[in-house]
Amino acid sequence: MTTALLEALNKRRQRGETAFIPFVTLGDPTLEVTVEAVRRLVLAGADAVEIGVPYSDPLADGPTIQAASERALRGGFQLPDLFRLGPNLREVAGEVPLIAFTYANPVYRWGWEAFPRDLANSGYTGLIVPDLPMEEAGPLRDAADRSGVALVPLIAPTSHRRIRRICETARGFIYAVSSTGVTGVRQRLPEKLPRLIEDIRRYTDLPIGVGFGIGNPETAAAVAEWADAVIVGSALVRRLAAIAEDGREPQAVLDDLEVFARSLAAPLRGKEKRGDRRCE
């Protein structure tokens, strides 16, 4: 199934470049700041933007994003805000796809059919649910297909026996988890990451994005040698946290966010690639 998300990533891949997918937590520290942050990330070169949905039990997230979710929830975030704010985010993002990142419980409570339908109506084109196993994702994936929303699966280093089956049901792109554990900046990425990407390419033509642990331009450049997209979350969320934690002026923090995002996107453009980088 071709979606706006897949088309956007393939445009970058056709140029022999690597896409940049940043992540922000919705409502941290305010919904208004999130909208402006998305605008800045798009200006900095984002090819898609992940919108993290605050949740009280974010199993896949490390301390930085957990803290961001807690701040947003204390600030009054509620799940309807995800849909209500969609048109505002869509306006500042322009043609850049928006991907909702959430957990299975909020989706289940909203409704397997209703959640992707309401996402699409609000301007989102992708959905990631890290704690929803492939074996249980059928109803949501079917509903997402009907709504034109790409349900993006995660493949971890421990998924090697299930890679083919996951790829057969994937939409949009493959989210390759660089290492086991939760999100967060790491000092170095696993040496086996290129092998994981090669194993995934055996079973799919979809773009492969790599996330978890990427926190500086050097690491982004290293991942770009193999991946079709580089996903950065905690390093960006940590910068936005300075508004709430350090009392810095939002404008100054957003300026810093944009400069940092540009530094992450820059080495992904025109960089020589390794391996087979197929494109539909």
Tell me how far apart the terminal alpha carbons of the chain are, to the nearest angstrom: 11
User: What is the spatial order of strands in the sheet that 154-155 belongs to?
Assistant: 150-152, 126-128, 98-101, 49-52, 19-25, 229-232, 208-211, 174-177, 154-155
Which stretch of DSSP H or E encloses residue 15? none
Q: Tell me which residues are annotated as active site.
A: 50, 61
- Bridge partners (DSSP) listed for residue 23: 50
The interaxial angle of helices 86-93 and 114-122, nearest 10 deg, is 50
Position 37: which residue type?
A
- Cα R_g (the chain), whole angstroms: 17
DSSP state of 267: G
User: Which CA distances in Å does 93 have to 49, 170, 175, 263?
Assistant: 8, 24, 21, 19
